[in-house]
């Protein structure tokens, strides 16, 4: 594995010393990967350049880029803010779970949020951060400066899981606060009533926002491949249940499959991008989904 690519692996990134380093190395690994399959055809000029459009001033053409690529690119400047993005992160107690040897869901989601923030601000886009459990705990409106990135990363660095899940009501609260349309990215395990969550996600769409939902699960939550005897504890109520997982594995997988399929279908029907991730999924998948969406918006 090349040096840059290893920073797309959650287990490697978790061992880094701080959130700024994590964000930078994940993004650098991602950009390196844009040259490789499955990213053929993607240009990395998106960070500092955009393609020349009729009406642009000739003096802003980057002739060095033209010499390398045979295409006209315009240099972008600090004040050019193209898009407002709103990152919404679930920090409820259920996100504190990790099966043996894995990173916690809340950590995995925070690394994605950090890398996206870094990438967006490098692109001169504005990014904001909302953190919620039962209600909104942190609300940073979108800005596009490097100094603001430090503020976002600090919040992610000190993130602690909170109380019970209130995904639906928190998303409604955020939707009401958004005054200017943009791109909304939700990072959550979505362990809440799916009908209520979908109503809240539709709230963003009704207000003209583009939406990506990134559902983050632990591999064990997907496979239920526990041993012969296990004690299950509810992360939020602390209730415990002793059982033999193989007895209920099929029923669990069927139930989870229906749960995930409902979200996937409802999102598709409401023009919401849906991405299923688990905490072993390399980070380039999430960043590529964002970049793909970003390309379609403009």
The CATH number linked to 179 is 3.40.50.410
d(CA 124, CA 143): 9
User: Which of 75, 95, 117 represents a domain boundary (last residue)?
Assistant: 75
Shared domain for 29 and 130, answered yes or no, is no
Domain count, the chain: 2
Whole-prediction pTM value?
A: 0.79
DSSP structure string for 142-170: EE--HHHHHHHHHHHHT----SS--HHHH
d(CA 70, CA 218): 45
Shared domain for 25 and 161, answered yes or no, is no
| The pLDDT value given to residue 47 | 46
Look at residue 113 and tell me whether its pLDDT is greater than 60. yes
Shared domain for 65 and 135, answered yes or no, is no
Shared domain for 130 and 233, answered yes or no, is yes
pLDDT in tens, 129-146: 999 999 999 999 999 999
pLDDT in tens, 275-286: 999 999 999 999
Shared domain for 198 and 270, answered yes or no, is yes
Higher pLDDT: 272 or 71? It is 272
Q: Which of 45-54, 164-173, 235-244 has the highest mean pLDDT?
A: 164-173
In DSSP terms, 183 is beta-bridged to 85, 210
| The pLDDT value given to residue 139 | 95
pLDDT in tens, 135-192: 999 999 999 999 999 999 999 999 999 888 889 999 999 999 998 899 999 999 999 8
Task: State the average pLDDT over residues 102-112.
Answer: 97
Look at residue 232 and tell me whether its pLDDT is greater than 50. no
Domain span at residue 281 reads 84-297
């Amino acid at each position: 594995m090349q040096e840059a690519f290893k920073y797309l692996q959650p287990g490697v990134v978790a061992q880094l010393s701080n959130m700024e380093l994590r964000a930078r190395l994940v993004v650098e690994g991602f950009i390196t990967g844009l040259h490789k399959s499955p990213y053929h055809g993607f240009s990395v000029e998106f960070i500092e350049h955009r393609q020349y459009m009729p009406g642009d001033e000739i003096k802003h053409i980057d002739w060095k880029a033209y010499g390398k690529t045979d295409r006209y690119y315009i240099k972008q400047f600090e004040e050019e803010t193209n898009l407002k993005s709103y990152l919404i992160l679930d920090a409820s107690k259920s996100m504190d779970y990790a099966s043996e040897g894995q990173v916690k869901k809340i950590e995995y989601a925070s690394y994605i949020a950090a890398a996206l923030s870094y990438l967006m601000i490098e692109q001169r886009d504005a990014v904001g951060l909302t953190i919620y459990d039962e209600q909104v705990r942190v609300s940073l409106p979108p800005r596009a400066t490097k100094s603001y990135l430090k503020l976002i990363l600090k919040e992610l660095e000190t993130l602690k899981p909170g109380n019970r899940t209130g995904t639906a009501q928190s998303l409604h609260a955020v939707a009401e606060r958004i005054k200017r349309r943009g791109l909304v990215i939700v990072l959550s395990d979505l362990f809440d009533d799916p009908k209520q969550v979908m109503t809240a996600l539709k709230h963003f769409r009704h207000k003209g926002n583009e939406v990506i939902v990134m559902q983050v699960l632990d591999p064990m939550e997907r496979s239920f491949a526990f041993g012969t005897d296990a004690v299950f504890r509810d992360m939020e109520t602390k209730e415990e249940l002793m059982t033999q997982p193989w007895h209920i594995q099929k029923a669990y997988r069927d139930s989870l499959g229906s749960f995930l399929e409902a979200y996937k279908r409802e999102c598709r029907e409401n023009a919401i991008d849906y991405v299923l991730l688990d905490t072993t999924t390399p980070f380039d998948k999430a960043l590529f989904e964002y970049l793909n969406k970003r390309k379609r918006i403009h």
